[in-house]
Amino acid sequence: MLKHLGHPIFNVVKEAAEDLSLEVFVVGGFVRDAILNRPCKDIDFVTVGSGIALAKEVAKRLKNATEVNYFKHFGTAHIRQNDWDFEFVGARKESYTHDSRKPAVEEGSIQDDQNRRDFTINALAISLNASNYGALIDPFEGVKDLENKTLRTPLAPEQTFSDDPLRMMRAVRFATQLNFTIDGDTLKGIKATASRLDIISQERITDELNKIIAADKPSVGFKLMFDTKLLHQFFPEMIALQGVEERNGLKHKDNFYHTLQVLDNVADKSNDLWLRWAAIMHDIAKPDTKDFTDKEGWTFHGHEFVGSKKVKSIFRRLKLPLNDKMRYVSKLVLLHLRPIALTKEIVTDSAVRRLIFDAGEDIDDLLCLSKCDITSKNERKVKRFLANLVEVEGKIRDVEERDRVRNFQPPMSGEDIIKLFNIRPSREVGIIKNALKEAVLEGEIRNNRDEAINFVLKKGKELGLSKA
Ligand code: CTP
């Protein structure tokens, strides 16, 4: 394991621990990632004794530590140096959860500490002690699990998960991020313990959820959360998407699996977390709007409106930000059918202009979502729809080049209108302004000042106003 101990910090910690006659080990994520060849700039040190005393000794020896913090209540310390983070903690007999609300608990040996970690692959330790410097301590065959790409709890799964139910989400997150399988017993343990997730704060759950969404293939995590019923604990709206109904021989598609396909399609094209959230939410109101008529078959009329309204309450409950990110997701949900609608009949320039105006800066993301929304099993259909959307893209480019409505600024402001007629701010100003915007979007006039002045004068005349 010596090859993983290249960073100078390991020698510093070794010498500091020797001076204090403490045993010390590198544990957790750093060891796992070192063996997996994944970059990791967080190093956790466990000492059999006081983590704070060791950190103080280390800090003394480090010239350029930018930040040193001691958390007496929790018996932990944190040192930041350049862009590296070093955590120090005394070995514990109790669960090792990183939940800052839990105070330090009874001291233990390195074996006790490893017992209480979440997965065998996270319970690996490397000794920094003179007697066996660099030796790997692997009591649960974590290396074998790394090789077999398996997530397994060191103790009985129910115990490990009861100690900290967030670990069930971590299991799914690691499985998704690392492309690992959750061992059969561990998976059973999650199914048996899923409802205990309710004692975990939504912020911590959502942190894990966002990591799942940010993975290369987020559907893996959602399917696991669905199968184990973890998803049922905090996202019932997604559960309601699942299922297929049949009437008069007509079936609608399973909107849960469709949504996951759209999410994976978006993940292939973009790393933007919020565009991925838009994919998750785009059909969220289908269950609310579902209907069947003999004439039309299955319909979900208005699901884009209802869905866009639901975004806020779901974001609030999931403790996602209620800021422009939320408004962006809501807007994409509202508009997600519009590009497809433009492929249907003969499309007027004004319809294209309106879409550019409504989507604004987000038009490219909207088109991406639209393309990703095509999930038919029929390859020919997919090809045809995609070709149609590429055509729409071309139309959008043409219209945008000509009319520049993406960041639409009316060619005359309310202020200009007031001056032109020498009137006070009034209802008429609003009427004229709106008519001007409509005229540009409809293509009645072009988006320039000369045509705007003529239009405004004409409109003013209709309202009994004359030029000052
Ligand atoms: N740990 C645990 N149970 C938790 C959280 C953490 O047992 N609920 C232990 C694991 O041994 C883990 C270590 O604490 O490896 C460090 O946790 P953390 O920094 O949260 O995660 P990492 O495993 O380093 O992974 P990542 O950085 O990807 O979150």
Domains, the chain: 2-148 (3.30.460.10), 149-234 (1.10.110.30), 414-462 (no CATH)
* 90-99, 395-404, 434-443: least confidently modelled range: 90-99
Q: Could you tell me if 24 and 5 are in contact, meaning their C-beta atoms sit under 8 angstroms apart? A: no
Q: Nearest C-alpha to atom 13 of ligand 1 is from which residue?
A: 28
- Identify the pLDDT of residue 54: 97
Q: Does ligand 1 lie within 6 Å of residue 108's CB atom?
A: no
Q: Nearest C-alpha to atom 22 of ligand 1 is from which residue?
A: 29
Residue with tokens 């930000």: 321
Q: What are the strands of the beta sheet with 76-81, ordered from one edge?
A: 65-71, 76-81, 84-90, 42-48, 23-27, 125-127, 136-137
Of ligand 1's atoms, which has the minimum distance to the CA of residue 40? 27
pLDDT band for position 105 (cuts 50, 70, 90): low
Rounded CA separation 96/115 (Å): 9
Rounded CA separation 371/262 (Å): 9
Q: Nearest C-alpha to atom 12 of ligand 1 is from which residue?
A: 28
Q: Does ligand 1 lie within 6 Å of residue 164's CB atom?
A: yes
Q: Nearest C-alpha to atom 1 of ligand 1 is from which residue?
A: 97
pLDDT in tens, 374-410: 998 888 988 988 888 998 999 898 888 877 777 777 7
Average pLDDT, the chain: 93
Q: Does ligand 1 lie within 6 Å of residue 118's CB atom?
A: yes
pLDDT band for position 97 (cuts 50, 70, 90): low
Q: Could you tell me if 59 and 79 are in contact, meaning their C-beta atoms sit under 8 angstroms apart? A: yes
Of ligand 1's atoms, which has the minimum distance to the CA of residue 95? 7
Residue 304 has pLDDT above 70, yes or no: yes
Q: Could you tell me if 447 and 440 are in contact, meaning their C-beta atoms sit under 8 angstroms apart? A: yes
Q: Does ligand 1 lie within 6 Å of residue 214's CB atom?
A: no
Q: Could you tell me if 373 and 385 are in contact, meaning their C-beta atoms sit under 8 angstroms apart? A: no
Q: Give buried/exposed letters for 328-340 (b at 16+ CB in 10 A, else e).
A: bbbbbbbbbebbb
Cα 76 to ligand 1 centroid, rounded to whole Å: 15
- Identify the pLDDT of residue 255: 98
Contacts 24+ apart (CB under 8 A), 396-402: 396/352, 396/355, 396/356, 396/363, 396/367, 399/349, 399/352, 399/353, 399/356, 400/356
Q: Does ligand 1 lie within 6 Å of residue 92's CB atom?
A: no
pLDDT band for position 102 (cuts 50, 70, 90): low
Cα 109 to ligand 1 centroid, rounded to whole Å: 19
Q: Does ligand 1 lie within 6 Å of residue 173's CB atom?
A: no
Q: Does ligand 1 lie within 6 Å of residue 122's CB atom?
A: yes
> What's the farthest any 2 CA atoms get from each other in the chain?
97
User: Measured at the alpha carbon of residue 303, what is the angle toward residues 302 and 309, in degrees to the nearest 5?
Assistant: 100
- Identify the pLDDT of residue 101: 58
Residue 104 has pLDDT above 60, yes or no: no
Q: Could you tell me if 119 and 173 are in contact, meaning their C-beta atoms sit under 8 angstroms apart? A: no
Residue 99 has pLDDT above 80, yes or no: no
pLDDT band for position 103 (cuts 50, 70, 90): low
Q: Does ligand 1 lie within 6 Å of residue 88's CB atom?
A: no
Instruction: Average the pLDDT over 225-248 and give the result.
Output: 98
User: What residues form DSSP beta bridges with 442?
Assistant: none
Query: Which pTM was predicted?
Result: 0.90
